Amino acid sequence: MEETIETEPFPSLIRPSSPSPSIPPTPAISSCPSPDRTFSSVSSLSTSSATSNDARSTSSGSSRRRGYIRPQGAEFAESAKHRESVLSLGSIAHLQYYFARTGLLDGKGGHAREYQKKKKPDNVPRLLLTPNARFIDEDLSESPTEEVLDPAVLDENDEVMLPPTVSTYSMKTHHIPPPPDLMTLRKDLLDAVEKAEKSIELAESEEEPAPDAKPPRISLSPDDSPEGEDSTRRQVPVANTRQSWDEVQGMHILDVVTLAIRAAKIYYTAHPRPERLASVKSEREIRQALFHVLEVLKRWASRKFAGGLREDERASIMGWMSDVRATLAHEGRLEANEAKEREDWIWASGDWAGKELEREENFLRSLMAPTATLPAWTSTEDSPLPTPFLERLRDGRVLVQIHNNAVKKSKRPFCEITAYHEDVAKPYRRAENLRYWVKAAEIRWETKLEFDVMGVVHGSSDEAWKQFDMALRIWCKAVREELVQDWWETKPINPPTEDLGA
């Protein structure tokens, strides 16, 4: 009887037998790499794909063997090509490529020196932790610092690698010219107004073309003769001669008057002393005059300059120009008065050695109203405290007024004290006025003043009065030096050679 052997659908796994002891051992897979596998190369997938791509793989094959990939140019949208943030991405990639190529990422220091590996003698025994350690080459653990290029992949047109200190994208430097000075602005405005006035007067004095006069013929070719057969067909109708003449004159006057308005706008907006200009005419009146002239020009252009300028339109434009000249003349008189006032500043120059208090007293008097009075400034060492001078400035009102006048006379008119106490019956109001003055000195004149405010208000100690006297001297010296410097900068002559802080 035959035995029936049932076959299982899934055969059982049979453990293989142990190898024979006579077979020499082989190194493990993890400890003995294959010849086609290196630690510093990229994956085989990227290598195979690089060989199958276009010519870009030829130039990047050598860099891939080093452990890094040269950055390729990225495509950005048209709106993002010129952004600094997008251009900076290219610089970061350039830095990474430069560091990898020069070996700065291999731990060899910042000078990219070539690493010289010490050669070990062959007869020195090594300590083998495992039996397979003799098959591992120690050179595989080091990354090369020099790129070994294949002569077959070298290209003459290959770009030179620049150091990361060189910008990889160009930044446009915008040179902004300084604003013009006051004299240049004034000259441009006067020239534009004078040109507009001459254009209006010249347009009124020119003779109109005769109605039966032939207008200029429009020729289509340089060889065309005036007696040609088609000359009558290329002539402008005689009925449009008057309208064309008015449009030519109107467009010219419109241009020159508009340029004069533009020069006036630039002069008013770029004026370095707007408070002086506002004392001549307010900003509201200046704007209304400009808009009125523009409205006159608009009405004239809406009727296509027919009939030329009317009497009321001409009077409006010429009146605005006369008003501009009057404003500039008034401003010139104010400048002359300021220059004359500065000439009377005896404290601005001269030798004041040993007379410092007299100099500072004259300086304070020049910043006060003409009707205001101020006692003589005496030393705190020779007079009982408080002196009449310090008692006059005790409540802070005079100091605030002097500060505001000094700000108006300077070239930087800002940080004026607009709110302070006129009624100083309460002690805290006098203290606040003094604190306003101290804070304004720190912000505007960049001078730190320190004294006991409440001690001055109550008059409790002589030390507080001495500190107050010293603070006044420091304030006068700082403000006086700045005002004198501004004065000599506006004058065409050289400043004096004496020490301004003497």
pLDDT at 340: 87
Q: How confident is the model at residue 14 (pLDDT cuts 50, 70, 90)?
A: low
> Looking at the chain, how many residues does it have?
502
What integer pLDDT is reported at residue 24 of this predicted model?
A: 65
- What local confidence, expressed as pLDDT, does residue 57 receive? 43
Widest CA span in the chain: 149
The rounded distance, in Å, linking the Cα atoms of 464 and 490 is: 40
What are the boundaries of each domain within the chain? 44-114+122-153, 182-207+241-342, 347-490
pLDDT at res. 257: 95
Structural tokens at position 209: 């073309």
Query: Residue 158's pLDDT band (boundaries 50, 70, 90)?
Result: low
Burial class (CB in 10 A: 0-12, 13-18, 19+), 434: buried
Residue 456 tokens, joined: 């001055």
**Phi, psi angles (nearest 5°) of residue 308:** 75, -165
Quick check: bond before 215 cis, omega within 30?
no
Highest mean pLDDT among 42-46, 149-153, 336-340, 392-396: 392-396
Q: What pLDDT, on a 0 to 100 scale, did the predictor assign at position 342?
A: 84
In this prediction, residue 346 carries a pLDDT of 87
Residues 6+ apart with CB under 8 A from 117: 139, 142
> Model pTM?
0.53
Topology of domain 347-490, per CATH? Actin-binding Protein, T-fimbrin; domain 1 (1.10.418)
pLDDT at 179: 81
What is the pLDDT confidence band of residue 103, given thresholds at 50, 70 and 90? low
- pLDDT value for 189: 95
Is residue 61's pLDDT more than 60? no
Average pLDDT on 18-28 reads 62
Q: What percent of the chain has pLDDT over 70?
A: 56
Residue 403 clears pLDDT 60, i.e. is over it = yes
Q: What is the pLDDT of residue 502?
A: 35
pLDDT tens-place string over residues 104-141: 555 544 444 444 445 555 565 655 555 655 555 554 44
